[in-house]
Amino acid sequence: MNTIATDTANNKDDYAALAGGHHGDPFSVLGVHQAGGSRIIRTLQPHAERVEIIDSQGTLLAETARVHPDGIFAAVMPPRLRHYRLRLTTTVGDTLEIEDPYRFPTTLGDLDLYLFGEGSDKQIYAKLGAQLRTVSGISGTRFAVWAPNASRVSVIGDFNDWDGRRHAMRLHPANGLWEIFIPGVGSGEKYKFELLDHKGHLLPLKNDPFGHYHEPPPGNASIVFASKYQWSDYPWMQRRTAGPELDRPISIYEVHLGSWRRRTEGGDRYLSYRELADELVDYVSDMGFTHMELLPVSEHPFDGSWGYQPIGMYAPTQRFGNPDDFRYFVDRCHAAGIGVIVDWVPAHFPRDEHGLRRFDGTAIYEHEDPRKGEHADWGTLIFNFGRREVINYLIGSALYWIDEFHVDALRVDAVASMLYLDYSREDGEWVPNEFGGNENLEAVAFLKRLNTELHAHGATTYAEESTAWPGVSRPVDQGGLGFTFKWNMGWMNDTLSYMGEDPVHRKHHHDKMTFGLVYAFNENFVLPLSHDEVVHGKRSLLGRMPGDEWQRFANLRAYLTSMYAHPGKKLLFMGSELAPYDEWSHDRSLDWHLLDYAPHRGVQSLVRDLNALYRSTPALYEIDFTDAGFEWIDWGDRDNSVLSWLRRDASGNFVICVSNMTPVVRHDFRMGVPGGGRYRELLTTDDVRYGGSGVLNGDLEASNTGMHGREFSIAMSLPALATIIVGPVS
């Protein structure tokens, strides 16, 4: 019996397993292996009629023999030959030359494997997924994926006719990583992973958890992508290394990219990242916002989730372009002096079969126990924060957005749902922690590590957290969770509730406007008027305001200005500056036509002027997070529904803020002030430019008439349903 025949007899079972697509260790059979005194080349080419071994010049080195009817070929390797290629003649008569992926060694080094096993690889996004590589002078793509309980994993795509037998991957059993280098596969190739579970059953095809780009529906394949983008924001990035500056003005414009503006001439299509880089960035710059916050741009299958059910944590959504188009958008923001915040969702993920759910046939990203692993409210699954590979996946995603896309900050969604094991659960529907409590200790540890890592990269973090959990925005080394900022949901709920009251009843709800100052300095707060407040029947901000048409607009103007004068950074959802009548819908453009009407233009002009005044007045932002920056003048005038207070900067400079929340003009209204001299109205929401009635104050001279416990006071006219800001004349 000759060498090939003997080898075939010895490997009969392996050949059957390879041809059947259920061999778990193809590298032990395919490629070059010692067999007796010879080296044997074996290759699986189901679509080939004939396979030849050739050198790099195309010279024939050896003919192969078909050793299995389903396309396994073998040949004795010529002496001293190290490198070879394959020349295939297909069953339809085509000829092509290819590299054999099974002749290449692993491209994951010992350090890569160690860091992954430890869960501490900060650049895991450059190791797993699809990475363009050149190995031994040959260009191709290295694919790697974590699937510890799979019995076989393959890469499939157009390059192998979506045949899972042809590029079965190499397993690193110590940590459950599968990888293969496939020569000739380049940027733009679509691919998926085909997996068999531990029993050998075929699973639904999966896209790449670390994929950088995905195809649009109805397909859901991942796409090999290599960035060619050249950044131009070096000065911005150098300044960012200093980290968060709490004493700077932060005025955030929250945006859903798919509905800010659409192209009606293109069938109501989305604007692309590059179109948004011009139109949206110019608009935000003109309006004077310091930052833009994007509702999640991670790839997601369902438009109606607004991105909050992500399935591609390492991929900007293809809806608006490719990853380099998104890089251009961020670059353009930085050139305009606008910081970029991205909503990021590590709390849960959807059940779509092509995503993370039971990725290798078991719950590796989620919990097996539904009492720990499911959000019934949202129909989603919860990440297993106790598994180091999952933590590495999530923190790697966060760092990917910061490092690769130059995003300045992440706003972490649904933090409360992560902190509490019994979040939105009844008794018996949750599992206590090891101490019997309801705190998710693993999630707490994750959030602390996340914030530590992001701050080390010069990034800022925002928590959407609605409970009284202590120290959300306090440093980790001081016992806090480590976020830079926390959304002040209590302020938002209380003040919107107050503004919804008929002014005649507001005196009975006065505390809703003052209670927030009891805890205003416990955290580094952002005051959010976000997308969540203008959907699901809550009505638009204008729609919440009581009274006739004029009063509704006046209420809105007074409310927005009181927010800018209140301690805390600012956030306004897109379109709110247009004062729309209708709720926001992700399926259509904002109501830009409203700017044809003066009341709506007035609100937009007010927001623009508020941003300008805010940014130029340190007293409105410099000491947001200690009581040194705020002082009540009179918080108790509930009968008149008037509130007055001071804001100070670090040098002691101040402005006076007054809100009259009734439709009554109050002439000769006397108010205590810190000192004598002249005062000047810096802004009033009753200005006719904004749609007001024009009750204005000229220069105001302080008298030594005592008021509100102060030696000096000024008398002014308080317009109806208005907020005014007054400053001393130097």
Mean pLDDT of 588-596: 97
Percent of the chain with pLDDT over 90: 92
pLDDT of residue 35: 85
Q: Is the dihedral of CA 353, 208, 344, 327 positive or negative?
A: negative
- CA–CA gap between residue 686 and residue 671 (Å, rounded): 19
Cβ atoms within 10 Å of 81's Cβ, excluding its own: 14
Render 324-351 in DSSP notation, one character per residue: HHHHHHHHHHHHTT-EEEEEE--S-B--
Query: Backbone phi, then psi, for 369, in 5-degree steps?
Result: -80, 115
The strand pair at 222-223 and 190-196 is best described as antiparallel
Q: Which of 89-93, 393-397, 557-561 has the lowest mean pLDDT?
A: 89-93
DSSP string computed for 162-211:
T-TTTTBPEEETTTTEEEEEEET--TT-EEEEEEE-TTSPBPPPB--TT-
pTM: 0.96
Q: Are 329 and 336 within 8 A, CB to CB? A: no
627-728: CATH homologous superfamily?
Answer: Golgi alpha-mannosidase II (2.60.40.1180)
Strand order of the β-sheet with 700-701 is 630-634, 642-648, 654-660, 722-728, 678-684, 700-701
Predicted confidence at residue 373, as pLDDT, reads 87
Work out the average pLDDT over 686-693: 98
Alpha-carbon gap, residue 576 to 466, rounded angstroms: 22
Q: What is the mean pLDDT of residues 445-462?
A: 96
For the segment 99-119, the average pLDDT, to the nearest whole number, is 93
In 196-295, alpha helices (H): 234-240, 273-287
Contact 325, 276 (CB under 8 A): no
Whether the bond between 217 and the residue before it is cis, its omega within 30 degrees of 0, is: no
Query: What's the pLDDT at 204?
Result: 97
Q: 25-39, 248-262, 682-696, 704-718 — which is least confidently predicted?
A: 25-39
Class of domain 110-223 (CATH, top level): mainly beta
Between the two ends of the chain, the Cα-to-Cα distance in Å is 105
CA distances, 562 to each of 106, 147, 498, 700, 712 (Å)? 61, 53, 13, 21, 24
CB 12 within 8 A of CB 41: no
Domain ranges in the chain with CATH number 2.60.40.1180: 627-728
Closest CA to 373 of 414, 434, 429: 429
Residue 116, helix vs strand vs coil: helix
pLDDT for position 690: 98
Written as six digits, the tokens of 470 are: 């202590």
Comparing 377 with 484, the larger pLDDT belongs to 484
Q: For 697-712, what is the mean pLDDT?
A: 94
Is residue 57 within 8 A of residue 5, CB to CB? The reply is no
- Positions of CATH 2.60.40.10 in the chain: 3-103, 110-223
Q: What is the mean pLDDT of residues 604-618?
A: 98
pLDDT above 70: residue 518 = yes
**Which residues are known catalytic residues?**
413, 464
pLDDT band at residue 126 using 50, 70 and 90 as cut-offs: very high
At 728, is the pLDDT very low, low, confident or very high (cuts 50, 70, 90)?
A: very high
**Cα(315)–Cα(209) distance, rounded to whole angstroms?**
9
The order of strands in the sheet holding 38-44 is: 31-35, 38-44, 72-76, 65-68
Confidence tier at 2 by pLDDT (50, 70, 90): confident
- ∠ CA 581-463-256, nearest 5°, is 35
CATH number of 3-103: 2.60.40.10
Describe the crossing of helices 549-565 and 489-499 by its angle, rounded to 10 degrees: 150
Q: In percent, how much of the chain has pLDDT > 70?
A: 100
Structure tokens at 395: 């923190």
- Report pLDDT digits (tens) over 521-540: 999 999 999 999 999 999 99
Residue by residue, what is the 3-state secondary structure of 553-621? HHHHHHHHHHHHHCCCEEEEECCHHHCCCCCCCCCCCCCHHHHHCHHHHHHHHHHHHHHHHHHHCHHHC
pLDDT at 242: 72
Task: Phi first, then psi: give them for residue 172, nearest 5 degrees.
Answer: -100, 95
- Where would I find the H helices in 457-522? 489-499, 511-514, 516-519
Pairing between strand 48-54 and 60-63?
A: antiparallel
Q: What is the pLDDT of residue 1?
A: 46
Question: Residue 83 has what pLDDT?
Answer: 86
* DSSP letter (8 states) at residue 703: B
pLDDT of residue 5: 85
State how far the Cα of 213 lies from the Cα of 189, in Å rounded to an integer: 10
- Give the residue-averaged pLDDT of 350-354: 95
Average of per-residue pLDDT across 545-568: 98
pLDDT of residue 244: 75
pLDDT of residue 264: 83
